[in-house]
Homo-oligomer: A and B are copies of this chain.
Amino acid sequence: MNPPNPTAVEEAPAETPPPRRPSLRLPRDRHALVDNFFRFQSLFGLVAVFLIAIAVSPVRNGENIFLSSGNLANIVRAVSEIGIIAVGMTFVILIGGIDLSVGAVLGLAAVGSATLMVDSGLGILPTVLIVLLIGTAFGATQGAIVARIGIQSFIVTLAGLQAARGIARMWSGGLGIPIAYGDGPQEAPEAFSLLSGSINGVLPVPAVLFIAIGIGALLLLRTTAFARHVYAIGGNEKAARLSGVPVRRVRIAVFAISGLLAALAGIIHAGQLNQGSPNDGSGYELDAIAAVVIGGTSLAGGSGSMGGTIAGALLLGILNNILALNNIDANVQLVVKGLVIVAAAALQKLRPRIS
């Protein structure tokens, strides 16, 4: 056999221009269909759990208890705080981070709301603004430590959790601060109690806030350049940096959003329970993360959707509700919940995968 001729290796391809060839194309339409189907896949688990809930719900006087409007409203109200936190958490997880401090920030914000209104006699607006500012600043500080020193967010926010819980306890003297309404000293403005009310007696205010924030965040994530930067950082940080994405700033902003929404959830919490208690919200971080991940967002960052998170939060709420309505033993509930969560996550796996 001939030895290969080294010069032949580099023979110019330009001499014999190859004919233009159309690159292979997918049949567009069919794929658009499949794609659209799977795009809403984060809803699969939700729809499945919803249908099962209807099927297994107890019926009283011919009425499906699960489907009663009061019950549905309760479900959304019950998940609203976790849901709002999960919205913020979605941003954090999209950039590949995690925020364990949200539950403690919720407690801090609840204490703050109660203290400022009851003890310091501030009005609603200043109180809300100050508390939101505290939450935002707390989140931004954590973000800055993550972005500037480069410590993993898990550690920074785990430390943040402890710090926020400690501060909340010190601020409140360790005890829940009850909120009484009225015009007198040591009383909060009556309007604050609206947070525990409903619109038209049907739609609980926290549920409305959750849905509004969810939709707002969903639009934000679909339309803004900020959102693209978030996805880019989570997907390929180096590419993002090379493209001129202000990586640090976006990172800090994302943790600030998470802190802001956790503080908002804390205000709602205080309003709903008429009390600011420093121990409230413990463990909420895990529920919120579960909602995000069940919603199909990857903990590795870079892929996921806000719609999924909202669906995930509702799924958890329905699950809690239907187990309770059926009087399942609390310990059995734990086991069943574990299994359903895994099953719901498995459903998301139907999606055809890239790579």
Contacts and interface: CB of A to CB of B under 8 A. Distances in A.
A150 B289 contact: no
A289 B150 CA distance: 18
Contacts of A300: 300
Interface stretch (A31-39, A60-68, A185-193, A329-337): A329-337
Nearest to A343: B159
A333 B238 CA distance: 38
Nearest to A174: B331
A342 B159 contact: yes
A188 to B, nearest CB: 25
B290 A331 contact: no
Tell me what chain A mostly uses at the interface: helix, strand, loop, or mixed.
helix
Interface in A130-185: 145, 149-152, 154-156, 158-163, 165-167, 169-170, 174
Contacts of A211: none
B286 A346 contact: no
A341 interface: yes
Shortest beta-carbon contacts, A-B, top 9: A166-B334, A159-B338, A163-B338, A166-B335, A162-B338, A169-B331, A159-B341, A162-B334, A151-B345
24 contacts: A151-B342, A151-B345, A151-B346, A152-B299, A152-B345, A155-B293, A155-B342, A155-B345, A156-B345, A158-B341, A159-B338, A159-B341, A160-B338, A162-B335, A162-B337, A163-B338, A166-B333, A166-B334, A166-B335, A166-B338, A167-B331, A167-B335, A169-B334, A238-B355
Given A162-B334, A170-B332, 18 more contacts: A152-B345, A154-B293, A155-B293, A155-B341, A155-B342, A155-B345, A156-B345, A158-B289, A158-B341, A159-B337, A161-B338, A162-B337, A162-B338, A163-B335, A165-B334, A166-B333, A169-B330, A170-B335
